[in-house]
């Protein structure tokens, strides 16, 4: 009897371990976690004017907006292929005998055209080997990825159908007001066509002080599975794509965040027209708040964006912006903090001109700045920052091609790389930052890479990285 009891206990214990291993290995999360602080995590969860309504909840009718939205919001299934052990012993001890196994993640998407274009989050469709979309009428279609932008976490997918699909029109998120009633529509925890209500809690919210994020914050309930779903106003206009929640538990606790519709629309338009995202760059450096420099300059109390430096050959330099200028307004939009500025610039392309109100020595001046293409990138693998050569650089280094190293990671500081010009990686000539990105992105971390550079005297140097 004791032996039977012991065997029963062992069987229950083994079953629990097996179930836990299955959930760990085969069930794929439909969201990503970004650290906000040591106790809090952020869980990643398509043009008409937007009008704010100041009416009380008893005077607002959500039914028409909800009815129109649920039919345009879809369920997105992402199937990827991952590695898993053959049995429980390999899970704990490993044997190199792992096998491929499908992993499934789910999220939401929003139909933005009658012919089947759907906007969703990049993290919903990332690394997919197969994408499936289920409409609110339960019809399921295979979907193809058209393009994506990890920086904004926006992706565009498409299904093929002869039907004219219901869709949502983009609203103008710049006109959205704090306190305005909104609806979040999506598929939390695979509960399809779920509608929740809340208000706009804040705009231009950044969840990471090191990034260029600019979210709409709401208190509409959003959970894992809502990612890529719709945030609409009471008119049913799409004003955001639900993307993240701030939570200590992994579930909604009162704070949710959406990519503004103006940013999402610009990303989608770029993907359709250019195949990639066109980013217009102002060309200023900004001092982060709460740093010794910011405290010394009193920047934490400034309403606006303090310019701590000007990028060479940028639109800001051509417009004669200066260190110490404070950006107060851009194209009639008030700038209180950095995400206000970056959020608006995310809707612009190279060649666009913006009108800026600048505070310079307590005097307001108006300056027109033409945005340019980004001149610097961080190259893969080595992590160095490089920029396109200016005419001055080409003359100094006596070259017509190459990229200049402007930032070096700590691990490479002893090689004397900063300020030199890379003209070749292995046998590939480097003419600009695009060439540099492609060349460094294609090298193997296990092989040997030869970098040919020019020093300040225009002399060639070669470094071999093993």
Q: Which of 206, 227, 314, 346 is catalytic?
A: 227
**153 catalytic residue (yes or no):** yes
**391 catalytic residue (yes or no):** no
Q: Which of 108, 123, 269, 435 is catalytic?
A: 123
**227 catalytic residue (yes or no):** yes
Q: Which two tokens stand for residue 306?
A: 């303090």
Q: Are 456 and 430 in contact (CB under 8 A)?
A: no
Q: Which of 75, 148, 152, 153 is catalytic?
A: 153
> Which residue has tokens 């050569």?
389
- The Cα 451–Cα 440 span in angstroms is 10
* Active site members: 123, 153, 227
């Amino acid at each position: 009897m004791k032996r039977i009891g012991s065997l029963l206990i062992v069987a229950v214990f083994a079953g629990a371990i097996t179930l836990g291993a299955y959930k760990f290995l085969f069930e794929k999360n439909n969201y990503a976690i970004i650290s906000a602080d040591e106790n809090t995590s952020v869980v990643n969860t398509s043009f008409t004017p937007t009008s704010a309504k100041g009416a009380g909840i008893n005077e607002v009718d959500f039914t028409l907006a909800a009815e129109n939205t649920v039919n345009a919001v879809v369920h997105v299934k992402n199937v990827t292929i991952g590695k898993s052990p053959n049995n429980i012993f390999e899970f704990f001890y490993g044997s190199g005998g792992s096998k491929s196994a499908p992993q499934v993640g789910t999220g939401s998407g929003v139909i933005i055209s009658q012919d089947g274009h759907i906007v969703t989050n990049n993290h919903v469709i990332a690394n997919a080997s197969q994408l499936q979309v289920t409409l609110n009428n339960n019809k399921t279609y295979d979907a193809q990825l058209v393009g994506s932008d990890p920086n904004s976490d926006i992706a565009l997918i498409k299904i093929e159908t002869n039907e004219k699909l219901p869709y949502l029109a983009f609203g103008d998120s710049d006109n959205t007001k704090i306190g305005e009633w909104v609806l979040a529509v999506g598929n939390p925890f695979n509960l399809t066509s779920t509608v929740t209500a809340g208000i706009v809690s804040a705009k231009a919210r950044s969840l990471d002080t090191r990034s260029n994020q600019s979210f709409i914050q709401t208190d509409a309930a959003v959970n894992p599975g809502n990612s890529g779903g719709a945030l609409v106003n009471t008119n049913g206009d799409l004003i955001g794509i639900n993307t993240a929640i701030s939570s200590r538990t992994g579930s909604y606790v009162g704070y949710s965040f959406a990519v503004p519709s103006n940013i999402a629309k610009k990303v989608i338009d770029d993907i359709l027209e250019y195949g990639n995202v066109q980013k217009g760059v102002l060309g200023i450096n900004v001092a982060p708040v709460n740093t010794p420099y910011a405290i010394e300059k009193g920047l934490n109390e400034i309403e606006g964006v303090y310019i701590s430096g000007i990028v060479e050959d940028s639109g800001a330099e051509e417009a004669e912006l200066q260190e110490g200028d404070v950006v107060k307004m851009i194209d009639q939009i008030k700038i209180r903090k950095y995400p206000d500025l970056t959020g608006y610039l995310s809707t612009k392309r190279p060649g666009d001109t913006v009108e800026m109100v600048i505070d310079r020595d307590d005097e307001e001046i108006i300056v027109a700045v033409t945005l340019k293409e980004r001149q610097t990138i961080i190259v893969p693998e080595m992590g160095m920052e490089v920029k396109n050569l200016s005419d001055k650089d080409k003359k100094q280094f006596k070259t017509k091609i190459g990229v200049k190293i402007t930032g070096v990671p700590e691990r490479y500081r002893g090689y004397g790389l900063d300020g030199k010009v890379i003209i070749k990686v292995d046998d590939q000539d480097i003419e600009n930052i695009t060439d540099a990105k492609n060349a460094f992105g294609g090298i193997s971390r296990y092989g040997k890479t030869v970098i040919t550079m020019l020093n300040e005297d225009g002399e060639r140097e070669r470094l071999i990285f093993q």
